[in-house]
Structure 1
């Protein structure tokens, strides 16, 4: 994984983990043990789904960067779909407080996405081809001299 992608994941995962820990502590105080379990599960779920999505985006666009936008939209849509499936499966559970789970999930998704954008904007990533990177015009096939 290139260092800028690892930096993006780290820049989003650490604040999300902090937000998850805070949400778990607040939920434990307000809603008890079931609230803490719901908040912890939501934070872990966001970190796993969105971390795996960033990793998949890196792997899928490594050899073909022209597909970046299409793959990014597909990965994000898949992440949201999977979160929706988890919400539907645990809709009537008594294992944890579902309201705390939902609010923590939403908050952690906002933190992850916001910090991912912030980290990406702060990363100095070159997107212009320098003369050294450009192919030699004389060596192109079909070019007459």
Structure 2
């Protein structure tokens, strides 16, 4: 993972974990231990799903840039389906408070998206590889005619 990718992941994960910590405290105060557990599960699910998605998308962008847009759409669909399967599997659970889980899941997802957007806009990512431009000019500069 390149430094830009790691920085983007860090800029998205840290605010999400902070929002998750706030959600754990609020859920624990309102719904007790099961609320706090639900908030922890929601936060961890968001960080894992969105973090893995970001890593896969960055890897695809480097290896197959022509598939970037299609992979992004497919990735978001898979993420939604994964979370839906998780919700269906744990809809009647007593391990954690499902309302705290759902609200934390929503809040953490929104924070992740906002933080990732902000991090991407603040990143100074080159869209032209300077090394390839130098190689091209060096190759064509002394062409005999």
Asked if 1:114 is matched to 2:119, the reply is no
Deviation at 1:129, TM superposition (A): 5.2
Q: Deviations over 1:4-33 (max 9, x none)?
A: 111111000000000001000010001100
Higher helix proportion, which one? 2
Deviation at 1:60, TM superposition (A): 2.3
Counterpart of 1:132 in 2: which secondary structure? helix
Which of 131, 134, 137 is the equivalent residue of 1:132? 134
Q: Deviations over 1:68-99 (max 9, x none)?
A: 11111111111111011111111111111101
Asked if 1:84 is matched to 2:84, the reply is yes
1:110–1:69 Cα change, 3 Å: same
- Count of paired positions: 139
In structure 1, list runs of 5 or more residues that go unmatched.
139-144
TM-score w.r.t. length of structure 2: 0.88
1:137–1:73 Cα change, 3 Å: farther
Counterpart of 2:96 in 1: which secondary structure? coil
User: More displaced, 61-70 or 14-23?
Assistant: 61-70
In structure 2, list runs of 5 or more residues that go unmatched.
none
CA distance in 1 between counterparts of 2:136 and 2:53 reads 31
TM-score w.r.t. length of structure 1: 0.88
Name the counterpart of 1:41. Answer: 41
Q: Deviations over 1:21-60 (max 9, x none)?
A: 1000010001100000000000001001111111111222
CA distance in 1 between counterparts of 2:115 and 2:135 reads 31
Name the counterpart of 2:62. Answer: 62
Superposition RMSD in Å: 1.8
Name the counterpart of 2:26. Answer: 26
User: More displaced, 62-71 or 105-114?
Assistant: 62-71
